[in-house]
Structure 1
């Protein structure tokens, strides 16, 4: 047999062919669905405009590209989301097939019967073991009126699992001869030395009335071994918010914000705290993990590559505290059966390793442990991952009972009053305890209170 003459291809052409082949292979991988969910009708998701929304939007786009299924995102300001969700689940048929709710709001929807348990949509459905439970916030035990997997139904899953981290400027600490803080006393010591107002503030956290101060202060509350109620999981709703430990935590929080923060410390919101850190005006701060991506964006930040993270510091007796502030996706009870199945199809895709990795790469906070132990954690832009994973070992849900929203309103007011000097810390906590006890009493809980603190 006559052989064909050997065609010699120039070296640079061979390299070009190889590169093109690699690109084609990569593109083919990108097009391969992370999970085969089949053809589904279009769905509409209600969500809030948050720091993590751009990452979620990008991952939804990948889902559409891979599967051909369509998703419409209705994005509303944080302050308008709850009312819109309430109206949707109480209408004849929900205009939304999935609603993404702040964790504190989910209880109202669980207890009101406005949410479809996920196994009612498909009895075979279950979350992968790698998906974190975030304090069982997706479960509801109707008998206990408490979020727990023990005897509870799976009502939701976490789209974004925020926890607070301690952000600090390693360069400023090094210049001042200071070490990264391990305790809240260290934070206070460091911030006192670093504060040079109005040029630099040593520590910033939220002080605004409402959810802001309640959420941020609770990390110190837990680190001081204090609590709101004695044992809600066991049915004992004795109010303990006015304990000496809670007062110590509040006094320390007030000292931190007054001594080391800007003059408007009593009205600082999340956007303010992020802005102070991003502009280089704050040396240390207590803020959500989801903010990290913005600190690495040159168009939004003057401190790219300069902020490091650590788990929130310890308090009395080396106790550590962090509050989980996740966002949970629920399927409305009054959505059609076909739409519920389509929403669950997206869920199956979203909780895969590949989808969660893509979410992280887009700037989101993945909900799977195996993403945090992957090669991503070794990249500089994901240097927050070890601190986040460590925090999950001790972070916990707070206010996970039916009265949680009412309790938050009380605490959000009273804590802020103590911060801005309208009441002493003892008086503010005594008032909160009295009001919270009354809330539980009206709901038939087994409750009581501690002796009042000196005012």
Structure 2
């Protein structure tokens, strides 16, 4: 097993170097202070600013960023620690943090990792287990599991109960079904329990002239990260399909199964209810279509709810319902986590590491998570999903989040995710557009993912 882990690290680094060249070429300079090149003057992290020290933390530009900034301001007041948030576009986050590692600049005191890239940092030992910093540290049981999100089994190369505590979730995004409850009521529609019912509702609303689109989902493929792949996961999981035969023991791809083809067929059916320009439908476009009142229903991350309920920005504020995403033909629900990870860089010294862990523990506390929720974030704790201080709309979508949590399964949570996503993003986008049939598309994906897995040297074939 030790030899397997060693070979896995070598394969991970080889795959990383191939993908990193593309990522570096894609990054632009820009004049925003958050885009300052790492290692430039004034970028040192973990210094002695103020009496309590300093933390430098990268953060992506997300809709929940204002809520997170408010928490950081409160943390500084509470502790005397200075916190500098470095803002980057999503597509630069991974590269900036890998630069910090490879250049040995030690700029950041906390890494903020997208869930799809988190295992890459684990397998390369770029982040430090929390219990190496504090052997007694434990996450509060009220922090949601998200499919053993925080725990890494180095032998099986998966998130698993009993693994090392490596990360804490930030912003507890999960998929929700969001629908026009006013139109549902007008047409006498029931909240769909299955995807086929969602399709039928969408067709009826379009035929009645109530909306332009019966369903809108993200079908755009991207070159860095997960777009259509992420929003395909509820379909994959609800059809009882899976990416691999048996994660941890047999990594043979399984995307040409009848279940996976059925999920891809459902993807195409939902895409046909939305705008024709499927290849340009990103998350922002899906949310905008709902805000404008053009579409009956969408499935997007819970954090989008705040935008839909904004009276300044949304034509449908107060008229949106929230529910668990529909099930597949056998009643199986499939919901994917979509969180960011707070982790501790392996190369920083013990004093900085302890300061980072203190910050992470503070962020995960109930009082702080309740405040995050009130400000528009999605809390990571179950006991922060209910409050008398929530608005009526917040109570509605946080209630749907709570209903969803028992069904949450992992995102594309693999150290080889960058190589895998190059395949899945392209092919799923083509299936959604109708340029590849579900059968041909998933057969092609099976072939290409098999080639990816052969490079990883992980076991295939049982």
Residue from 88, 91, 95 that aligns with 2:100: 88
Deviation at residue 421 of structure 1 after TM alignment: 2.8
Matched, 1:445 2:458: yes
Contact 1:314 1:321 in 2 (8 A): yes
Please give the alpha-carbon distance, in whole angstroms, between the structure 2 residues aligned to 1:39 and 1:297.
Answer: 39
* C-alpha distance after superposition, 1:352-371 (max 9, x if no partner): 11011111111111111111
Deviation at residue 67 of structure 1 after TM alignment: 2.1
Residue from 320, 323, 345 that aligns with 2:358: 345
| Pair 256,135 (structure 1): closer, same or farther in 2 beyond 3 Å | same
Deviation at residue 417 of structure 1 after TM alignment: 1.7
Contact 1:161 1:365 in 2 (8 A): yes
TM-score normalized with structure 1 length:
0.86
Deviation at residue 93 of structure 1 after TM alignment: 3.4
Please give the alpha-carbon distance, in whole angstroms, between the structure 2 residues aligned to 1:236 and 1:353.
Answer: 39
Is there any run of 5+ residues in structure 2 with no aligned partner, and where?
A: 1-49
Contact 2:179 2:296 in 1 (8 A): yes
Matched, 1:193 2:204: yes
Please give the alpha-carbon distance, in whole angstroms, between the structure 1 residues aligned to 2:86 and 2:403.
Answer: 34
Please give the alpha-carbon distance, in whole angstroms, between the structure 2 residues aligned to 1:353 and 1:163.
Answer: 19
Give me the CA root mean square deviation.
Answer: 1.9
Matched, 1:43 2:55: yes
Deviation at residue 392 of structure 1 after TM alignment: 1.0
Deviation at residue 405 of structure 1 after TM alignment: 2.8
Hey, what does 2:164 align to over in structure 1? Answer: 153
Hey, what does 2:264 align to over in structure 1? Answer: 250
Matched, 1:218 2:233: yes
Please give the alpha-carbon distance, in whole angstroms, between the structure 1 residues aligned to 2:144 and 2:237.
Answer: 21
Larger Rg belongs to: 1
Matched, 1:114 2:144: no
Deviation at residue 212 of structure 1 after TM alignment: 1.4
Please give the alpha-carbon distance, in whole angstroms, between the structure 2 residues aligned to 1:398 and 1:55.
Answer: 24
Deviation at residue 448 of structure 1 after TM alignment: 4.5
* C-alpha distance after superposition, 1:315-369 (max 9, x if no partner): 1211111111111011111223222121111112111110111111111111111
Deviation at residue 404 of structure 1 after TM alignment: 2.7
**Following superposition of structure 1 onto structure 2, how do residues 307-386 of structure 1 map, counting pairs within 5 Å?**
307-375=320-388, 379-386=392-399
* C-alpha distance after superposition, 1:178-197 (max 9, x if no partner): 11111101100011111268
Number of matched residues? Answer: 409
Contact 1:204 1:257 in 2 (8 A): yes
What secondary structure is seen at the aligned counterpart in 2 of 1:162?
coil
Moved more, 88-97 or 216-225: 88-97
Please give the alpha-carbon distance, in whole angstroms, between the structure 2 residues aligned to 1:195 and 1:237.
Answer: 43
Contact 1:45 1:73 in 2 (8 A): yes
Deviation at residue 398 of structure 1 after TM alignment: 3.7
Contact 2:279 2:429 in 1 (8 A): yes
Residue from 400, 417, 431 that aligns with 1:387: 400
What secondary structure is seen at the aligned counterpart in 2 of 1:100?
strand
Deviation at residue 374 of structure 1 after TM alignment: 4.2
Hey, what does 2:297 align to over in structure 1? Answer: 284
**Following superposition of structure 1 onto structure 2, how do residues 60-209 of structure 1 map, counting pairs within 5 Å?**
60-150=72-162, 152-195=163-206, 200-209=212-221
What secondary structure is seen at the aligned counterpart in 1 of 2:173?
strand
What secondary structure is seen at the aligned counterpart in 2 of 1:266?
helix
Is there any run of 5+ residues in structure 1 with no aligned partner, and where?
A: 1-37, 450-455
* C-alpha distance after superposition, 1:401-437 (max 9, x if no partner): 3323322221111111222233221111111111112
Deviation at residue 395 of structure 1 after TM alignment: 1.2
What secondary structure is seen at the aligned counterpart in 2 of 1:120?
helix
Contact 1:163 1:322 in 2 (8 A): yes
Residue from 254, 263, 267 that aligns with 1:240: 254
Hey, what does 2:419 align to over in structure 1? Answer: 406
Deviation at residue 296 of structure 1 after TM alignment: 1.7
Moved more, 419-428 or 191-200: 191-200
Please give the alpha-carbon distance, in whole angstroms, between the structure 2 residues aligned to 1:391 and 1:190.
Answer: 21
Contact 1:138 1:158 in 2 (8 A): yes
Deviation at residue 214 of structure 1 after TM alignment: 0.8
Please give the alpha-carbon distance, in whole angstroms, between the structure 2 residues aligned to 1:282 and 1:144.
Answer: 43
Deviation at residue 438 of structure 1 after TM alignment: 2.1
Contact 2:221 2:227 in 1 (8 A): yes
What secondary structure is seen at the aligned counterpart in 2 of 1:205?
coil
Deviation at residue 229 of structure 1 after TM alignment: 0.8
Hey, what does 2:243 align to over in structure 1? Answer: 228
Contact 1:40 1:342 in 2 (8 A): no
What secondary structure is seen at the aligned counterpart in 2 of 1:393?
helix
Which 4+ runs in 1 deviate beyond 3 A? 196-199, 373-380
What secondary structure is seen at the aligned counterpart in 1 of 2:227?
helix
Deviation at residue 91 of structure 1 after TM alignment: 2.4
Please give the alpha-carbon distance, in whole angstroms, between the structure 2 residues aligned to 1:276 and 1:222.
Answer: 26
Please give the alpha-carbon distance, in whole angstroms, between the structure 1 residues aligned to 2:133 and 2:318.
Answer: 45
